[in-house]
Structure 1
């Protein structure tokens, strides 16, 4: 077990704030922020799709915790999900719902693959 890590974040409104990092935190913290914007971030977990041009990132997820946020949801660990250029703080139920939709969309993609296979087998363009 590793020793607890602490960091000091310089804030614009509360001076130096010392906090303990969770085990999953990368230890990188933005400086000169408002205290409510302090966050612990886990490493990015990109979800990629293979394409003819190489892998393309579809989604990026990362654990996050904002101990001083005004939104109480953000004060407990959550997963931040990047879709496009926007981030969506998501809890367990939201992640399960996203996974369910992705599974449904995977089946739609498989159906398209089956349709393409039939068209190619028939020699259609």
Structure 2
């Protein structure tokens, strides 16, 4: 028996890249920054993952996910390979093919016009 299931929770690293195909298919590509469970997480950079979403899930991501959005995903790990056109060498990158997308942030997280509840008081 073999299992290929990945669960990640993190923040989106950039705006979704959406492609519409003549067949009617929709593909959305995202990057996701995920912090490790660590006592020194302030000193450790996040791990970055490439995400690939298709169909209705891609459509939801295109409409509701923005840079900085907090999301959870479930999917499968795969290695994408291709031939580099300029050097003619084989290239590859790891990708998570997302099967489930959970929007975890609030509407306030995605609203650029929202005003922060926090104020800074500086005493001199």
Flag whether TM exceeds 0.5 (same fold).
no
Classify the TM-score, shorter chain. Answer: under 0.3
| TM-score normalised per structure 2 | 0.28
Structure that is richer in strand per residue: 2
| TM-score normalised per structure 1 | 0.28
- Structure having greater relative contact order (Cα 8 Å, sep ≥ 6): 2
Structure that is richer in helix per residue: 1
The structure that has the greater radius of gyration is: 1
